[in-house]
Amino acid sequence: MNKLSTLILTLLSLVSCTVYKEFPVDIYKPGEAEIPANAQKIALIYRNFKYDNDTLKHYYRDNHLLKKAKGDPPNLDSLLATICLNEAAITLKKNYENKEFLIFADVFKPHSAAKIPQLNPSVLSGLAETTKTDYIILLETHSYFYSEYKDDEGGPSPRQVITADVWSAFDPSTQKFRDRKTMIDTVFWNAFKDDGTLDRNSKLPPRLAALKIASRMAGEKYAKRYTASWANTKRIYSVPPLPDFEAAEKYVLKGDWDNTIQLWRKYTGNKDGKLAINARYIWLLPAK
């Protein structure tokens, strides 16, 4: 048998016998957005924009019927937007303790269009100068809709609120937008306990209370974009049928990475490309 045939048989043997295993690992994820270090005062501003087809703020769905709400405060939209901005400020303050967050919910008059036109940077720079702030976070639009559904088991009516928000962030020092995010969320309430049984005495929030809770959660969720976090994920390592790789696996299980790496490193320059790949790489699986 020639050398080429021997090499092919060896490679086939490794491919067929190599075992792939997983181990858990925590990875550090920086925030999806950040406030510049030199910005000390941050304005959270409600732009007061509505899409032309966003006309149901004083309506709700009762099972399959659309009904007009009674007793809504005349400033409902401003009230909910302020709650949303306030919760965003509270959450941001936890990560930026040395910065000051100021809320401006009545800077813009209500306006609407088919699409959101981007504000001119000069307008935002003027706002920053007027409010004496270094950075602007805009809640461009805040939409919401409440629904109740008939419960087939005779318990309190399940209910939900859908919120849709568009956020942006502007840096006056660079005259540029640093973030833009559309967020759509659903908050749902029902009277079932954790064990699946129905609590007929459960007190679910009425419409206005539910809208306030959902608005608060929307502000918190956006602010969490500025929060670094740890995520649980898994990595894959391979164990070809060789003593060094089998020994390395035992070190992996013990969390002894120094000895693991020493054994893997012996094969990183191996002429056998398959062994080199096994020694050099650990593949990252998406975080769950």
Rounded (10°) angle between helices 257-265 and 243-254: 160
pTM over 0.85: no
User: Has residue 18 got a pLDDT over 80?
Assistant: no
Q: Where are the domains of the chain?
A: 3-23+235-284, 41-229
Longest dimension (CA), the chain: 91
What percent of the chain lies above the pLDDT cut of 70? 91
User: Has residue 110 got a pLDDT over 60?
Assistant: yes
The C-alpha torsion from 7 through 8 and 14 to 15, rounded to 10°, is 150
**How far apart (Å, rounded) are the C-alpha atoms in residues 41 and 274?**
56
**How far apart (Å, rounded) are the C-alpha atoms in residues 288 and 284?**
12
pLDDT in tens, 237-286: 888 888 888 898 898 888 888 888 888 888 887 776 777 877 776 544 55
pLDDT, residue 272, reads 64
CA distances from 128 to 102, 110, 201, 223, 239 (A): 11, 20, 50, 20, 59
Average pLDDT, the chain: 88
pLDDT, residue 36, reads 95
* Contact assessment for residue 42 and residue 124, using Cβ atoms and an 8 Å cutoff: no
Alpha helices (H) along the chain: 3-17, 76-95, 121-131, 207-223, 243-254, 257-265, 273-280
Average pLDDT over residues 17-32: 80
Fill in the DSSP letter of residue 141.
Answer: E
* Contact assessment for residue 190 and residue 204, using Cβ atoms and an 8 Å cutoff: yes
pLDDT in tens, 59-93: 999 998 999 999 999 999 999 999 999 999 999 99
